[in-house]
Amino acid sequence: MPLWRDGARSGQTSMKRFRMTRQKINTPPEGGSKFFYGYFVVGASLLIMSTMWGGYYAFGVFFKPVLNEFGWTKAMTSGAFSLASLMNGLLAIAMGGLTDKYGPRMVMTVCGLLLGSGFILMSQISDVFHLYLFYGIFVGAGMSGSFIPLTSTAVKWFFKRRGLMTGIVAAGSGIGALIGPPVASRLIPIYGWRMSYAILGGITLLVVVLSAQLIKRDPKQVGQVPYGENETGEVGLNLRVAGFSLKEAVRTPKFWVFFTTGFCYGYCVFAIMVHITPHAIESGMPAVRAANILATIGGFSVLGKLLLGRAGDIIGNRRTLILGFILMSAALICLAPAKMVWMLFLITGIFGFAFGTIAVSHSPLLAELFGLRSHGLIFGVFGISVSCGGAVGPLLTGYLFDVTNSYQMAFLLSAVLSLAGVLFAAFLRTEKK
């Protein structure tokens, strides 16, 4: 018998065995619950994400009261947020690895304890060292579990609807910005900023730690299989192992081009999220209404994630990334001279939509550029670029205000960084399969 026939017959036999094994694996156990537990995981992850980011983004609301009490400079005060951003980015990779080893429940419980404790301890600060320790270190470390562990766990529960469910979990950061700052702005006039931070910390600790107990590592823990796995073919499995390793990815120019877009994005987003409320107050807006600007950004970011996330499947994620940077650049250019209230809300709404558009394009574009073989690890390393931008943006924006007594130059610099993001995104080229 010719060797090629023998090889073909052997291959067919192996494929039949593979399909039979796959069918057995994907068959739910008899008597098991018909309700898919993955929806509990997504719901708990969404609640955790919203709570964590709501408290984190409320920093801009506490900025002025803390500044007024201690008389620190804007650069000095915003430096604590910059340190937290660095801690978040550097520890996020470790949190992803710990999630793989010990499971998301343990990781999110520890992060919830750190984050809630950090907010509670903020109510006791009396020195700038305390600010950097409690917010920069405790809060930053707690926030390191706010994205990668939750989204990577959601991915393990779904084959079908994976993009939708990951998008729902990721939308928690926007929902947090929609809820957290307005709540803080109403607590501060009643209880003062110290007690408000203690209340925020208590809520965060309880919600995150209790919700974390509902999160399971993967469907095997409850006798189920990923949603839709028994409806996927062999091609879907091959995609899981195709692509670059981290070592191979970082050796390519396109990784560093994409890395640079992350820095531009992080710089612009966190510079605005920290300083837009102080800017609005100094423009004559009441503190409670100024906090609603952050809520506007959060609400429109959710809209951007939901609408443009779907559009990315149609027009391509690279084009979605470029479109997001163009909208962000236009908003930042208009923000510098804007003084009227309605203009501030309109511009920040566009900014929020752009923020969500860019955020939702990162993960799928990374898969197009480097495949799924080491997607989580490469995504974690890419996240360092966003965190570095998030560290530099608020600090430099505060410094420029201290020097010029105005945010105009700082906002224009953010616009320049956003335009640079457009150019770098335009250089990205995905492989055509």
pLDDT in tens, 118-131: 999 999 999 999 99
Reported as a single tens digit per residue, the pLDDT across 157-179 is 876 766 677 778 888 888 898 89
d(CA 162, CA 107): 22
225 and 368 together in one domain: no
Q: Domain check: are 107 and 132 in the same one?
A: yes
Q: Is 13 a domain residue?
A: no
Q: Using an 8 Å Cβ cutoff, are 285 and 346 in contact?
A: no
**Token pair 């000095």 is at which residue?**
76
| Domain match, 193 and 255 both | no
Q: Both ends of the chain: CA-CA distance in Å?
A: 36
243 phi and psi angles, rounded to 5 deg? 125, -165
Which parts of the chain have pLDDT scores under 70?
1-34, 159, 161-163, 227-242, 308-314, 372, 375-376, 430-433
pLDDT at 375: 67
Q: Quick one: 219 and 274 in the same domain?
A: no
Domain that holds residue 59: 37-232
54 to each of 171, 204, 293, 390, how far by Cα in Å? 12, 9, 14, 17
Specify the DSSP element, H or E, that contains 86. Answer: helix 74-102
- How many structural domains are present in the chain? 2
Backbone angles phi, psi at 227, to 5 degrees: -60, 125
Residue 11 lies in a domain: no
pLDDT value for 387: 87
- CA dist 25 and 44 (Å) reads 27
Does residue 72 lie within any of the structural domains?
yes
pTM of the full predicted structure?
A: 0.75
Residue 325 in any domain: the answer is yes
Quick one: 421 and 299 in the same domain?
Answer: yes
What pLDDT shows up at residue 333? 92
In this structure, are residues 122 and 201 in contact, taking their beta carbons and an 8 Å threshold? yes
C-alpha 368/C-alpha 316 separation (Å) is 10
221 and 250 co-located in one domain: no
pLDDT value of residue 11: 44
Distance CA(347)–CA(333), nearest Å, equals: 10
User: Do 402 and 352 lie in a common domain?
Assistant: yes
Q: What is the pLDDT of residue 230?
A: 64
Residue 22 forms part of a structural domain: no
How would you write 160-224 as a 3-class SS string?
CCHHHHHHHHHCHHHHHHHHHHHHHHHHHHHHHHHHHHHHHHHHHHHHHHHHHCCCCCCHHHHCC
Q: Quickly tell me which residue has 């479109």 as its tokens.
A: 323
Residues 90, 391: Cα–Cα separation, whole Å: 12
Helices 341-370/253-282 angle, 10° precision? 160
pLDDT at 363: 75
Residue 234: predicted pLDDT = 41
Q: Is position 249 within any domain?
A: yes
256 shares a domain with 221: no
* Domain closes at, from 214, 232, 250: 232
Residues 296 and 433 in one domain: yes
Q: Does residue 7 sit within a domain? A: no
* Whether residues 310 and 196 fall in one domain: no
Query: What is the distance between the alpha carbons of residues 133 and 135, in angstroms, rounded to a whole number?
Result: 6
d(CA 419, CA 77): 28
DSSP secondary structure letter of residue 137: I
CATH code for the domain of 129: 1.20.1250.20
431 and 323 in a common domain = yes
Contact yes or no for 380/93 (Cβ under 8 A): yes
Angstrom distance (rounded) from CA 216 to CA 221? 7
Whether residue 93 is found in the same domain as residue 146: yes
Specify if 147 maps to a domain: yes
Last residue in a domain, options 197, 232, 267: 232
Picking from 183, 203, 232, the residue at the C-terminal end of a domain is: 232
Token pair recorded at residue 364: 């799928």
